[in-house]
A and B are shown apart, each in its own frame.
Chain A
Amino acid sequence: MSQGSLLANKMSDQRSMKAEVSGTPKTGSEALLRDTLKRCSPETLEAALKYRASGDVTLVPVIVLGIVERFLDPEVISKLRSGDDTVRFMEDLGLDSLTMIEAIMMVEESLGVSIKNEELLNLRSVGDLKVFIQEKITGFKSGESNEFYTIEQVASVMPQQDPFLFLEQANLSDRAAKGRYTISGQEDFLQGHFKGNPVFPASIMLEALGQLAVFSLLKNPPSEVGSSIDMSEVYFTGVDGVRCHRVCKPGDSLDLSIRLKRVRAPLAVFSGQITVGGEKAVVAEEITLAFKPMEPSTNGNGSEASALRDVSVSPQSTNGSH
C-alpha cells in the first residue's frame, strides 16, 4: 500500500462516514440497496431491484438464498444451491446465530420486512426461511410455519424421560412434526445390541417416531380434538407397514418426521419416516396412538405412568430384523 493510497483512503473514509451519518434514507433507495447487496451475486441484486419495482414474490427465494450464500464458506455453497429445502443453516451450512442475524438484517433491508427475535429462532432450514419470508410479504399464513423446541422444552412436556427419551429437538407445524435424535453410542442397550457391534434397534427407532408423535399431540393437539390431551394417558396401540432400509450406528443423526393422517378420539394415526443424512432408514406407514382428551376438571400432573414404553416389546417390533 503506497503512502498516497493510504492517504486517499483515509480521506475518503472520513467523508463517507459523514455522508452515512447525515444522509442515510430510512427506506431504501436503489443506491442503498446496491450498497447493501454489494457482496451478493449479480443475480441476487437484479432480483432485489426487480422485486422493488414489481413486488413479485416469486423473486423472494432467489434474493433470500443469494443473501445467505454471501455469508457461506465456498465449500458449502453447493449444498445451498442443491435446491434441498431441508438443508439446515447451522448444522449443514456452518452458520452460527450471529451470522443468521447478519443475514436477516440484510434480508430486512432488502425486502423491507422486519423479523422478531422469537421468529428468528424458528428459522432452522432453507425451507423455513423461504416460507417465512414469503408469508411476511404476502401476509398469508400457509400453515407450514414451524415452531422449534429444544431438548429442555421437549423433556418438560414428555412423559418419557432420560434414559428413555429419544427426541432431542422438535419442529412442529400444523399437522406434522420433525425431530432429531443423535445416537451417542453411550446408550446402555447398545452393549448387547449387538455384542461387539452396536446397532441402534429398529424398535427404538419406532419408539423415537412414536415419541415425536406424542410430543406433537401434547404440544399441538389437532383441532378435531378440541381440547388438550392428558399427558399420562397416551399409549401406543399399533404400527403397520414398517420397512427398515439402513443400519443405524453410533454417530448417526436420525432425522425423524411424522405426519398426522387421521384422528378420531381416542385414536390418532400418523405416518412416519427416519432418514440419516438424507438416506432413508425407516418407513412406517401407520403409527397409531390412543389418547384421552383432557377433562376440563382434570389436573394434568397426574400419574407418572409412562406412555409408549411397551413399543419395544410390541408384537410389531422389528427388533433385530436387519
Chain B
Amino acid sequence: MGQCSGIMDRNRVFITGLGVVSGIGNDKRSVSNSLRTLSHGFSPFPAYPPFEDDVSSLVKLVSTPKGFDVDSLDFEDWTYPDCYKIRREEMRGLAPHGVYVYCAMKQAIEDATLSSEDVSNSETGIYTASGGSPRLVSSNMNRMRELGPMRCSPTGIVSSIAGTLSFNLVACFKILGNSCGYSSACASSGHALGYAYNDIALGNQSRMFVVAGEDVNYESVVPFTGMRALSLESDPTRASCPFDRKRNGFVSAGGGVALVLESESEMKRRGATPYAELLGWGQASDGHNVAISHPEGEGLVRAMGNALRSTGVRAEEVDYINAHATSTLIGDASEGKALKEVFTKVGANPQVSSTKAITGHGLSLASGLEAAIVCLSMREGFTPGSAHIQNVDPEFEALNILGETTDASPSLAMSNSSGFGGANVSVLFKKPCTSSYP
C-alpha cells in the first residue's frame, strides 16, 4: 500500500479518459442519461433446458450490453457495433467479455486523446480484472474430451482463463509497461484501480489503463443461483433494489469498462482535462467467511478507514458514497452497518446510493464501472440516485440514501467494493477544481 510514505511524497493521480460497454449504455452520453433518469439496463434471460419448467429456480433478468452478440461458441459468429474493427487474429484470443473491454478501451483512448505512442511506451501499463470465461473453459473441455487435445483451438487457453484480459489487451494495444490481472471476485477492479494508483503515485509508471469485464451468459450467471445470491424476480424494479426492505438478490451484469489514469505531470504535459482526481484507496479483509460478508461489515469499516487515513480526508468531507450494495439481504445490511460506523458515528451524513439498482452487479466489472460512474457524475454535474426503493429497510434509515438523481455533482466521493472471502476495497475521488467543464 505504500502507506508509510508521506502523502506529500506521492505524485497526484487523475482520471483523464473512460470507456463503457454496459447494460445502461455503450458510450458516455447514454450511460449518463440512464443514470439521470435511473433507467435500468436489464433484459430477459432465457429459460435454460432441461430445467425450463421449474420457473421458481430460473434467473429471469440479466444486464447485457446491447449491440453485441457474443453468445456463439464460434468467435467468428460474434457481432459488435460497426464503429469498432477487431481483426480476426485479435478476436480469436478474446473471451466474450474481451470484446466488450476491447471496445471500451478504444473509447477510453479516444476520450483521453491518447496517441498510439502514448499508449505504447515503457511508462504506460495496464491492470485488468475479470473472472475469465467459464463458458469458453467449459466448451474447450468438452471439445478436448470429445475430439482430443490436438483438435482444440490454439487460443483456447488464452481466451478463457482468468488472465485473459491482460494477455489480449497487452498484445492488441502493444502495452510495454506494467501489466497484471487481479482476481478478488467483486473487488477485483477495485484492487486493479488501487494498485494502478500506487504505481503512478510512487513514480513507477506515468500512465495506467485499468480495465474490467465479465461475460454474461449461462455459464457465468446461472452458477450464482446455487449460492442463492441471484434475485429470481422478473420485475426489474423488484429484482435489483439495494437498501429496499424486500431486496432478494442481485441481477448479473456483463460488460466492459476502461479507465485512463495519469500522473499530474503527464496530464499537464498533454494538456488533458481530468474527470476526477484519484485521491487514494484502502483495503482490508474480513477474515470471516468464504462467501458471506462480516455481519458488522468489519473489513469494510477498516478499508474505508484506511482510505481516509492514507489520503488525509476526514469523514465529514465525503459528500457521496457509491455503495457496493448489490441488493442481497446480508451484504447490504453489513455495508449499512459499516457506513454508520465510519460516518454516522462521527456526525457525517454523506449521500449514499447504489447504482447497481440499474446496472446490475458486474462482479469483477463492478468497481471499475462505478469509478466511471463517479467520474461522469463529477464532470457532468449530477449525483446518481439509488433506484427501485419502495420502502427503505429500517436498517438504513439513519443513512442519507438518495432515492433520485440530483443535479449537483459530488465534490468528494467514495466507492466501495466487497468480494468473496471478505476482500474490501474503498476508493476516494475528488472533483477537480480546475475542470473546464460546466
Contacts and interface: CB of A to CB of B under 8 A. Distances in A.
Interface in B128-149: 139, 142-143, 146-147
A1 B89 contact: no
Interface residues of B, number: 32
Given A17-B73, A24-B146, A7 B46 contact: yes
Interface string A79-120: 000000000000000001011011001000100001000000
A90 to B, nearest CB: 12
B43 A6 contact: yes
B155 interface: yes
Interface of B: 43-46, 48-49, 64, 66-69, 71-73, 76, 79, 87-89, 92, 139, 142-143, 146-147, 150-151, 153-155, 217-218
Contacts, number: 62
A95 to B, nearest CB: 9
A71 interface: yes
B139 A10 contact: no
A96 B154 CA distance: 12
A96 B89 contact: yes
A73 B142 CA distance: 30
A116 B299 CA distance: 54
Nearest to B147: A24
A174 B154 CA distance: 32
Nearest to A95: B89
Nearest to B67: A1
B69 A1 contact: yes
A44 to B, nearest CB: 16
A114 B149 CA distance: 13
11 contacts: A1-B66, A6-B69, A7-B46, A9-B69, A10-B45, A13-B72, A14-B49, A17-B73, A17-B142, A24-B146, A109-B151
Nearest to A99: B89
A242 to B, nearest CB: 43
A85 B29 CA distance: 53
Interface in A9-49: 9-11, 13-17, 20-21, 24, 26, 39
A98 B90 CA distance: 11
A190 B193 CA distance: 52
Contacts of A26: 147
A71 B88 contact: yes
Given A14-B218, A105-B151, A21 B43 contact: no
Contacts of B217: 10
Minimum-distance CB pairs A-B, first 7: A101-B154, A7-B46, A10-B46, A21-B142, A98-B154, A11-B46, A9-B71
A18 to B, nearest CB: 8
Nearest to A96: B89
